[in-house]
């Protein structure tokens, strides 16, 4: 994968993260709540209508989590432009450690509270960040061989 393609995909993943976080925060005050109620029901498979974004504690955690997702997206966007674009090895290491540091506790915690399907969703999200880094590295190794 070319560097330009990796950069575009990382920026798309960063934008996706930020938009997901923003939607999570907006769900607190808008009809997007129905989307997140469905999302919460999905991660607590099966779909049974038993989970919802309700209660003060859940709502503040949604605000915090949404803000962190927006911040993660902004951070990866800047790392992609300011570091990865100039030094893919260093930028890639920074991105990989960050997303793995998110993925492991999020997935473990989700599994432990009975939201195992969130691990599947997290894995897809992880792939959006990891694949552009790893596939670009593979291209570099192939070109040098």
Q: How far apart are CA 5 and CA 27, in angstroms?
A: 32
Give, in order, the Cα–Cα distances in Å from 46 to each of 40, 112, 122: 10, 16, 17
pLDDT at 141: 66
Overall pTM > 0.75: yes
In our burial notation (b when 16+ CB lie closer than 10 A, e otherwise), range 38-69 reads: ebbbbbbeeeeeebebeeeeeeeebeeebeeb
Domain ranges of the chain: 3-144
Q: What is the pLDDT of residues 26-51, one digit of tens each?
A: 999 999 999 999 999 999 988 898 99
Q: What is the pLDDT of residues 13-23, one digit of tens each?
A: 999 999 999 99
Q: Average pLDDT, whole number, for the chain?
A: 93
């Amino acid at each position: 994968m070319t560097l330009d393609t990796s950069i575009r995909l990382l920026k798309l993943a960063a934008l996706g993260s930020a938009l997901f976080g923003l939607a999570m925060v907006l769900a607190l005050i808008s009809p997007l709540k129905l989307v997140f109620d469905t999302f919460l029901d999905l991660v607590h498979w099966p779909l049974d209508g038993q989970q919802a974004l309700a209660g003060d504690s859940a709502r503040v955690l949604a605000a915090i989590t949404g803000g962190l997702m927006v911040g993660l997206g902004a951070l990866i966007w800047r790392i992609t432009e300011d570091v990865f674009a100039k030094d893919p090895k260093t930028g890639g290491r920074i991105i990989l450690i960050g997303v793995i540091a998110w993925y492991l506790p999020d997935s473990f915690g989700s599994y432990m509270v009975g939201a195992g399907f969130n691990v599947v969703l997290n894995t897809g999200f992880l792939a959006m960040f990891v694949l552009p880094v790893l596939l670009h590295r593979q291209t570099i190794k192939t070109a040098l061989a």
